[in-house]
Amino acid sequence: MKLKICGINDIYILQHACEAGLDFVGFIMVNESPRNISNNFLASLESFDFLSTTPVFVFVNPSVDEVKKITSNFENAILQFHGDEEDSFCRQFDQLFWKTIRVKDSQSLEAINDFPSADAILLETFSQDAYGGTGKVFDWGLLEKISVQRKFVLAGGINPKNIKEAVSVDPWCIDVNSGVESSVALKDKALMDEIIKNINNG
């Protein structure tokens, strides 16, 4: 099972994540987010050695130019679209992308069919007030009622206390953000290590 830690905005945390062998590290490209990365941090990533870890850049309703700024500098990165983007918008960049579906109820999952080009579908908790980063878990029991033939990434409120339950849902990848923070936007290496240990032992 693959693991992604999202919302990284510190080079030392990033180094720790890559050295720990994480599959994916996520960077938030949304000004309104407390985890948004700075231009200086973004510039430092261009020469950073990710080792075997793949960077994922997270957008919410971006312009074409905003996305191309990333694709021109990071050929092997994954694009994650977290807003109201359509499949045609996401696929125009000819780069692997994940599309987020915000889950409110079983009907929400029907939107998976709207994104045939997505390399993976990320399932996040629905919120009226935000596109993500709610720190809340949706009803994972909803996933038992559907046949998910696609690769799916489980996100939303996952932390060291419920990581084993998340693993039991059997997603292709688990995405952790606020669950490994000691305070908002501040990642904690000890919490990260606990998640990694539980995934490896799961």
**Looking at residue 155, what is its pLDDT?**
96
- Find the distance separating the first CA and the last CA of the chain, reported in whole Å: 9
The answer to whether the CB of 115 falls within 8 A of the CB of 90 is yes
In degrees rounded to 5, what are phi and psi of residue 65? Answer: -65, -35
pLDDT, tens digit, for every residue of 164-188?
Answer: 999 999 999 999 999 999 999 999 9
**Looking at residue 147, what is its pLDDT?**
61
Domains defined along the chain, listed by start: 2-201 (3.20.20.70)
**Looking at residue 133, what is its pLDDT?**
56
3-class state of residue 163 by DSSP: helix
Query: Any idea what the Cα angle at residue 116 is, between residues 50 and 100, rounded to 5°?
Result: 55
Distance CA 121, CA 31 (A): 23
If you ran DSSP here, which 8-state letter would residue 65 be given?
H
The answer to whether the CB of 117 falls within 8 A of the CB of 148 is no
**Looking at residue 136, what is its pLDDT?**
83
**Looking at residue 143, what is its pLDDT?**
87
pLDDT, tens digit, for every residue of 47-75?
Answer: 999 999 999 999 999 999 999 999 999 99
**Looking at residue 129, what is its pLDDT?**
62
List, for the chain, all residue ranges whose pLDDT scores fall below the cut of 70.
Answer: 128-135, 145-148, 202
**Looking at residue 134, what is its pLDDT?**
61
